[in-house]
Amino acid sequence: MVDYHAANQAYQYGPNSGGGNGAGGGGSMGDYMAQEDDWDRDLLLDPAWEKQQRKTFTAWCNSHLRKAGTQIENIDEDFRDGLKLMLLLEVISGERLPKPERGKMRVHKINNVNKALDFIASKGVKLVSIGAEEIVDGNAKMTLGMIWTIILRFAIQDISVEETSAKEGLLLWCQRKTAPYKNVNVQNFHISWKDGLAFNALIHRHRPELIEYDKLRKDDPVTNLNNAFEVAEKYLDIPKMLDAEDIVNTARPDEKAIMTYVSSFYHAFSGAQKAETAANRICKVLAVNQENEHLMEDYERLASDLLEWIRRTIPWLEDRVPQKTIQEMQQKLEDFRDYRRVHKPPKVQEKCQLEINFNTLQTKLRLSNRPAFMPSEGRMVSDINNGWQHLEQAEKGYEEWLLNEIRRLERLDHLAEKFRQKASIHEAWTDGKEAMLKQRDYETATLSDIKALIRKHEAFESDLAAHQDRVEQIAAIAQELNELDYYDSHNVNTRCQKICDQWDNLGSLTHSRREALEKTEKQLETIDQLHLEYAKRAAPFNNWMESAMEDLQDMFIVHTIEEIEGLISAHDQFKSTLPDADREREAILAIHKEAQRIAESNHIKLSGSNPYTTVTPQIINSKWEKVQQLVPKRDHALLEEQSKQQSNEHLRRQFASQANMVGPWIQTKMEEIGRISIEMNGTLEDQLSHLKQYERSIVDYKPSLDLLEQQHQLIQEALIFDNKHTNYTMEHIRVGWEQLLTTIARTINEVENQILTRDAKGISQEQMQEFRASFNHFDKDHGGALGPEEFKACLISLGYDVENDRQTGSMDSDDFRALLISTGYSLGDAEFNRIMSVVDPNHSGLVTFQAFIDFMSRETTDTDTADQVIASFKVLAGDKNFITAEELRRELPPDQAEYCIARMAPYQGPDAAPGALDYKSFSTALYGESDL
In a domain, 220, yes or no: no
What's the chain's average pLDDT? Answer: 79
> Do residue 565 and residue 449 come from a single domain?
yes
CATH number at residue 647: 1.20.58.60
Q: What total number of domains does the chain contain?
A: 5
Could you read off the pLDDT of 863-913 as tens digits, one per residue? 567 888 888 888 888 888 999 988 888 888 888 889 999 989 999 888 888
Residue finishing a domain among 860, 876, 910:
860
Three-state DSSP at 359 gives helix
> Do residue 753 and residue 776 come from a single domain?
no
What sign has the CA pseudo-torsion 434, 435, 437, 438? positive
Least confident of 482-496, 606-620, 759-773: 759-773
User: For residue 808, is pLDDT > 50?
Assistant: no
Could you read off the pLDDT of 337-382 as tens digits, one per residue? 888 888 889 988 888 988 888 888 888 888 878 888 889 888 888 8
In a domain, 323, yes or no: yes
Q: Which domain holds residue 792?
A: 764-800+831-860
In a domain, 144, yes or no: no
> Do residue 501 and residue 594 come from a single domain?
yes
Spatial separation of the C-alpha atoms in residues 551 and 568, rounded to whole Å: 13
Residue 615 is predicted with a pLDDT of: 87
User: For residue 258, is pLDDT > 70?
Assistant: yes
Residue finishing a domain among 370, 398, 413:
413
In a domain, 180, yes or no: no
Pick from 146, 87, 75: nearest CA to 112: 87
Pick from 419, 236, 235, 394: nearest CA to 315: 394
For strands 847-848 and 785-786, give the pairing: antiparallel
**Mean pLDDT computed over 597-618:** 70
In a domain, 557, yes or no: yes
Spatial separation of the C-alpha atoms in residues 927 and 932, rounded to whole Å: 9
Residue 226 is predicted with a pLDDT of: 94
> Do residue 523 and residue 547 come from a single domain?
yes
> Do residue 390 and residue 489 come from a single domain?
no
What sign has the CA pseudo-torsion 77, 78, 79, 82? positive
In a domain, 666, yes or no: yes
Residue finishing a domain among 398, 413, 428:
413
In a domain, 138, yes or no: no
> Do residue 593 and residue 447 come from a single domain?
yes
What sign has the CA pseudo-torsion 471, 476, 479, 481? negative
> Do residue 853 and residue 878 come from a single domain?
no
Residues whose CB falls within 8 Å of the CB of residue 565, separated by 6 or more in sequence, listed in order? 642
Band (pLDDT 50/70/90 cuts) for residue 792 is: confident
> Do residue 447 and residue 592 come from a single domain?
yes
Count other C-beta atoms under 10 Å from residue 219's C-beta: 7
Please spell the DSSP secondary structure of 125-177, one letter per residue: ---TT--HHHHHTT-HHHHHHHHHHHHIIIIITT--SSS--HHHHHHHHHHHH
Percent of the chain with pLDDT over 70: 85
Could you read off the pLDDT of 241-252 as tens digits, one per residue? 888 888 888 889
Amino acid identity, residue 8?
Answer: N
**Mean pLDDT computed over 141-154:** 86
> Do residue 557 and residue 649 come from a single domain?
no
> Do residue 504 and residue 599 come from a single domain?
yes
Pick from 478, 500, 501: nearest CA to 490: 478
Q: Which one of 188-197, 707-716, 831-840 scores highest in mean pLDDT?
A: 188-197
pTM for the structure as a whole: 0.47
Pick from 535, 326, 491: nearest CA to 414: 326
Could you read off the pLDDT of 695-730 as tens digits, one per residue? 898 889 889 888 988 988 888 887 787 888 888 888
User: For residue 3, is pLDDT > 80?
Assistant: no
Band (pLDDT 50/70/90 cuts) for residue 805 is: very low
**Mean pLDDT computed over 793-815:** 52
Band (pLDDT 50/70/90 cuts) for residue 47 is: confident
> Do residue 754 and residue 771 come from a single domain?
no
Could you read off the pLDDT of 419-443 as tens digits, one per residue? 888 888 888 888 888 888 888 776 6
Cα 596 to Cα 332, 592, 601, 609, 619, distances in angstroms = 68, 6, 8, 10, 17
In a domain, 304, yes or no: yes
> Do residue 323 and residue 311 come from a single domain?
yes
Residue of 29 and 264 predicted with greater confidence = 264
